[in-house]
Chain A
Amino acid sequence: MSYLPYAVAAWICLVGIAGVATSKNLIHLAVCLTVTQSSSYVLLLSVGYVMHGVAPIFLGTKLGTPAVDPVVQALALTDIVVSVAVIGLILALALDAHRLSGTVDPDSLADISG
């Protein structure tokens, strides 16, 4: 029985959410969001691990050697691309908010109107 990998994924998620909630700077908030997203990669790859498995690349490896799950690796790849898109858009929104209100502090952005 071993649950350390899943506990690490849950810990990273909680730490990232705490960072997002207590952030005083929109750029710092975006980076904490990427930390939260990284917890999903750790969880996916830990779920797909096969004990004593090799990487699912069969150039030079005989077909039939136990390999780890390729589906979760494909999902993690897509996840990483999505996180780049998300952080790009969030930083663009942060720059737009800074242009309109002159501050990058999320707490004082509540006063923007219109």
Chain B
Amino acid sequence: MLLATTLVPLQAVAFGLVALGAPVVVLTRDPLRQALVNGVYGISLVCLFVVLEAPDPALSMLVVSGIGYPLVILAAIARVRGHERRKREKER
């Protein structure tokens, strides 16, 4: 089964970057760092969508992975830390 004969090199590189980015996002265990790595993975997905001639999904992914995901993830992390800090102050 030939794997990549009808792909333009640009498309092969874009697919390769996305395939490389996904395990990196999963292997980053700290949620705060993972939010940043997820943003970079989102940008690589945007490049892939542009190379696949899909401007509307590319714009959506750009906006969502640049604004949507970091805001909810960072807000959730901050709230978890705020709760834990309040609990520790209450115990003291």
Contacts and interface: CB of A to CB of B under 8 A. Distances in A.
A and B in direct contact, judged by CB atoms within 8 A: yes
Interface of A: 1-5, 7-8, 11-12, 15-16, 18-19, 24-25, 27-28, 30-32, 34-35, 38-39, 41-42, 45-46, 49, 51, 53-57, 67-68, 73-74, 76-77, 80-81, 83-84, 87-88, 91, 94-95, 98-99, 102, 104
A102 to B, nearest CB: 7
B54 A84 contact: no
B45 A8 contact: no
A74 B54 CA distance: 10
Contact of A42 (B4, B48, B83): B48
Contact of B5 (A1, A31, A91): A1
Contacts, number: 137
A80 B12 CA distance: 23
Interface of B: 1-7, 11-12, 15-16, 18-19, 22-23, 25-27, 29, 31, 34-35, 38, 41, 45, 48-49, 52-57, 60-61, 64, 68-69, 72-73, 76-77, 79-80, 83, 87
A2 B18 contact: no
B31 A31 contact: yes
Given A8-B15, A98-B80, A19 B4 contact: no
Contacts of A80: 57, 60-61, 64
A73 B57 contact: yes
